[in-house]
Amino acid sequence: MTARVFHLALAHFEAARRLPNLPEGHPARRLHGHGFLVRLRAELPAGWASPGVEEDALKAALAHCIEPLDHRDLNTLLPTPSDENLARWVRDRLALPGRACVGIQSRHDQGVDLDGVGHAHLWRRFRFESAHRLPNVPPGHPCGRMHGHGFEVILHADQDRDDRGVDGDQLAALWAPLHAELHQTCLNDIPGLENPTSELLARWIWVRLASELPGLSWVTVQETATAGCHFDGLHYRIWKEQRFEAALCLRHAPAGDARRRLHGHSYLLRLHLTAPLDQVLGWTLDYGEVKRLFQPLYVRLDHHRLDLLDGVESADPGGLARWIREHIQTDLPELDRIDLYPTPDHGVSLCWGKLGPALPV
Ligand SMILES: Nc1nc2c(c(=O)[nH]1)N=C([C@H](O)[C@H](O)COP(=O)(O)OP(=O)(O)OP(=O)(O)O)CN2
């Protein structure tokens, strides 16, 4: 399948707002403020920016776009400056030539993502602390031992698939009984969670909420700092993150650009895979196995000079993601997206399957 490259850029702004659409007495009807985060994923046509440094052009376009929002009263710009309306405002003002997804995160635990076809997915993040063990893993597998996690769950609701609309408080109210069942327990003791993998936990949550929340678009379960699973009622997508430290020269950077010189980054790499559920193990692919299969490539990336890698055309994020895909696709055929961030606020997604939901910061 042909891969699509999405360039990623993040920006922040600080602003005040009132949300008059909320019910009488709701605190957010009063003037209040947030440090907003804007996340942009854009598929850019060739020639839109200098090759290899597209993220710079994207970051500059985003910074220019949100400048009227920073340290302002947002109600002077929009009658109801909700996260969704702000995301639509940013997307319309940016007017990028390719497909663009815009996310607005107003709080650590809440935001809205506009997908590539303009649907607004409200998301809210929750956390619970529990013990579990995976009873069907091979002998000696660490997850067969009793252990525990601070699990994070993100509920995503497609506003365009629910006529009644939904807000973050409704998501919190729907989540509350599940939190009471899951928090500070051993998950294996809960009926239906005898094998509590991220995948089966995401499905269990989906089944409990789907009838009450017709717009539910994804349930995300983040099990550890580096791994988790999305479920949309039919498909499972997992991700596994790795970090590596590397040096490079960007030989194709414009003349005078400092990145033509030798420099370096602490990279974040996120591998996304889509696969059916293994009916015995209750997972798609073991996160640990993804890491193990990636290890031979990891040792070629970590503490190396990336522009000297055999066969790499350009050490920009897109060139590196393509090189990684080429070298791992035989061992990991379920892989369908690679995110590579040289810095926390810019990077690429190379995607040859479904894009899936964005992960909040
Ligand atoms: N597809 C799944 N794979 C694994 C699951 C799961 O639910 N679904 N669960 C586990 C374990 O419970 C484990 O605690 C988490 O796995 P892993 O990412 O391997 O954890 P590490 O702490 O070793 O990760 P680092 O790479 O060191 O960050 C296993 N697999």
Domain 119-234: which CATH number of 3.40.630.10, 3.30.479.10, 1.10.3720.10, 3.20.20.120: 3.30.479.10
User: Are 186 and 130 a contacting pair, CB within 8 Å?
Assistant: yes
Q: Where are the domains of the chain?
A: 1-116, 119-234, 240-361
DSSP assigned state of 293: H
What is the atom index within ligand 1 of the atom nearest the CA of 141? 29
The Cα–Cα gap between 36 and 25 comes to 24
The Cα–Cα gap between 276 and 340 comes to 25
pLDDT digits (tens, 9 = 90+) for 253-301: 888 889 899 999 999 999 999 999 999 999 999 999 999 999 999 999 9
Bridge partners, 246 (sequence order): 265, 304
Candidates 277, 285, 294; CA nearest to 329 is: 294
Is residue 169 scored above 80 in pLDDT? yes
Range 163-172 average pLDDT? 86
What is the atom index within ligand 1 of the atom nearest the CA of 201? 7
Predicted pLDDT of residue 45: 87
Predicted pLDDT of residue 161: 79
Q: How far is the CA of 289 from the centre of ligand 1 (A)?
A: 9
Is residue 4 scored above 90 in pLDDT? yes
Q: Do 119-234 and 1-116 fall under one CATH topology?
A: yes
**74 is written with which tokens?**
């947002």
Predicted pLDDT of residue 47: 85
- State ipTM: 0.97
Is residue 162 scored above 80 in pLDDT? no
DSSP assigned state of 210: T
The Cα–Cα gap between 32 and 15 comes to 9
Q: How far is the CA of 287 from the centre of ligand 1 (A)?
A: 5
pLDDT band at 133 (very low <50, low <70, confident <90, very high): very high
Listed range (16-25, 58-67, 100-109, 155-164) with the worst mean pLDDT? 155-164
Q: Exposed (0-12), middle (13-18) or buried (19+): which is 196, by Cβ within 10 Å?
A: buried
Strands 216-224 and 147-158: antiparallel
Is residue 1 scored above 80 in pLDDT? no
Candidates 95, 7, 4, 89; CA nearest to 341 is: 7
* Ligand 1: residue whose CA is nearest its atom 25: 226
Range list of β-strands (E), the chain: 4-17, 32-42, 72-73, 100-107, 110-114, 120-132, 147-158, 216-224, 227-231, 236-248, 263-274, 304-305, 335-343, 346-351
Q: What percent of the chain has pLDDT over 90?
A: 84
Predicted pLDDT of residue 328: 96
Look at 163 and 58; give whichever has higher pLDDT: 58
- Asked if CATH classification 3.30.479.10 holds for the domain at 1-116, the reply, yes or no, is yes
Predicted pLDDT of residue 253: 87
Measured CA to CA in angstroms, residue 137 lies from 134, 278, 279 at distances of: 6, 11, 12
* Ligand 1: residue whose CA is nearest its atom 13: 143
Residues lining ligand 1, Cβ inside 6 A: 134, 143, 197-199, 223-224, 226-227, 238, 283-288, 291
The gap between the terminal CA atoms of the chain, to the nearest Å, is 29
DSSP assigned state of 260: G
pLDDT digits (tens, 9 = 90+) for 94-112: 988 888 899 999 999 999 9
Predicted pLDDT of residue 222: 98
What is the atom index within ligand 1 of the atom nearest the CA of 284? 1
Q: Ligand 1 pocket test: which of 197, 239, 287, 293 has the largest number of ligand atoms within 8 Å of its C-beta?
A: 287
Average per-residue pLDDT in the chain? 95
Predicted pLDDT of residue 359: 87
What is the atom index within ligand 1 of the atom nearest the CA of 196? 7
Q: Ligand 1 pocket test: which of 223, 240, 285, 293 has the largest number of ligand atoms within 8 Å of its C-beta?
A: 223
Q: What percent of the chain has pLDDT over 70?
A: 100
Q: How far is the CA of 344 from the centre of ligand 1 (A)?
A: 23
Predicted pLDDT of residue 276: 96
Candidates 88, 9, 17; CA nearest to 42 is: 9
* Ligand 1: residue whose CA is nearest its atom 9: 197
Range 73-86 average pLDDT? 97
* Ligand 1: residue whose CA is nearest its atom 6: 197
The Cα–Cα gap between 51 and 256 comes to 15
Residue length of the chain: 361
- Asked if CATH classification 3.40.50.10490 holds for the domain at 240-361, the reply, yes or no, is no
Candidates 358, 356, 332; CA nearest to 347 is: 358
Is residue 165 scored above 90 in pLDDT? no
Q: How far is the CA of 98 from the centre of ligand 1 (A)?
A: 36
